[in-house]
Amino acid sequence: MAVVERTKIRREDLKEGENLCEHCTAKCCRYFALPIDTPTEWSDFEFIRWYLLHEHATVFVEGEDWYLMVHTVCKHLQDDHRCGIYETRPQICRDYTTENCEYDDDWTYDMYFETPEQIYEYAEAVLPARRGQGIRSRKPNLLPVLH
């Protein structure tokens, strides 16, 4: 039996009146992202570390802007990747366009954090050291010099 490989349609190959959403798996309905304050001190990074202790949460940075991303599927996303409440969908969904959506899979973030350890290490790199507060082991005592 021959295996038919489906190729993904390119934006520029859409026919007149055809919608990009007809060819997508609805990435935009599988998470939401909220802007958060740019962390500038240890307490800010502790909040972000707390976010990342929760399942399905990540943090990303685009330019100067920081975001909390929650990976969760919209309750009204249907098996065919279409909206089950399209006619009464929220305004944020109505305002969203395919012009800058993630359909093309070439989207990258300036920074992306998935674990509390990653954000802590980043904080250690950009903030002044906190005395005795690291997650790493303390440096061992030096061995005595033998004469």
What digits encode the pLDDT tens for the residues 125-134?
Answer: 999 877 665 5
Beta strands 65-70 and 57-62 are antiparallel
Residues 6+ apart with CB under 8 A from 6: none
pTM, two decimals, is: 0.76
Q: What are the structural domain ranges in the chain?
A: 19-123
pLDDT over threshold 70, residue 2: no
Give the mean model confidence (pLDDT) for residues 48-70. Answer: 97
* 119: nearest Cα among 20, 69, 47, 17: 47
The first and second tokens of residue 39, run together, are 């962390």
Give the mean model confidence (pLDDT) for residues 70-98. Answer: 94
